[in-house]
Amino acid sequence: MGKTPVDLLIFDLDGTLIESKWDIAASVNLTLAELELPQRPLEEIFGFVGDGVKKLLRQAVGDNNPDRFDEALRVFRGHYLAHCLDRTRFYPGIERALQHFARANKAVATNKSIEFTNVILKGLGAQHFQFVVGGDNGFGLKPEPGMLLHIMDRLQASPDRTVLVGDSTNDINGGHNAGIRVCAVGYGMGNRERMTACRPDWFIERPEELMEIFE
């Protein structure tokens, strides 16, 4: 089998391009501590990641404290902006893959707030990407297709030559809702069984495998 031709690779951010869960979890617990709410185990916070900051903090703050939510958002913003590059890095192999596809258009579509996204990409390598859309840019959150359709429109890419790379059911369902194929990654934060059930078009264990599949 030959390689699949692509003009546009759209990447999820957390759990796909970057290992960010440690900084997110630390900032959530700093926020809970400042609000004098009980801190949460790291593994529990990891499970909250992927649906955007509002849902992340709503789950962390808990249903018993809805009146603290706006305060939590404000406090978290300060902590996370200060700490979002403490331990966050591209996954091993990501930079090599991005350089390999230097001639293809590459974009980021993340449910993460664009403010945090821009700070992290500026610190790690924003030059790799022609376009970046975050969860608060007004196109909805994955699995809604809005941000993916917007990126394809802006970069004038056809659905049959566009692939979304992601680590969650939101990515797989979002890609299929946008009419594009999806390559799921097994090294991120997503639940493998749930991802498999969403029937991604490809499933890889290492970023370098992108170079074997696409051209």
Torsion angle, alpha carbons of 131, 90, 170, 190, to 10: 170
Residues ≥6 apart with Cβ < 8 Å to 16: 91, 165, 166, 167, 171, 185, 188
> Out of 7, 12, 23, 63, which one is annotated catalytic?
12
**SS3 call for 191:** coil
> Rounded to 5 degrees, what are φ and ψ at 69?
-65, -50
Residue 195 host element (H or E): helix 192-197
**SS3 call for 46:** helix
12 is catalytic: yes
Categorise residue 140: left if φ over 0, alpha if ψ from -120 to 50, beta otherwise. left
**Residue 168 to residue 59: CA distance in whole angstroms:** 18
Active site positions, annotated? 12
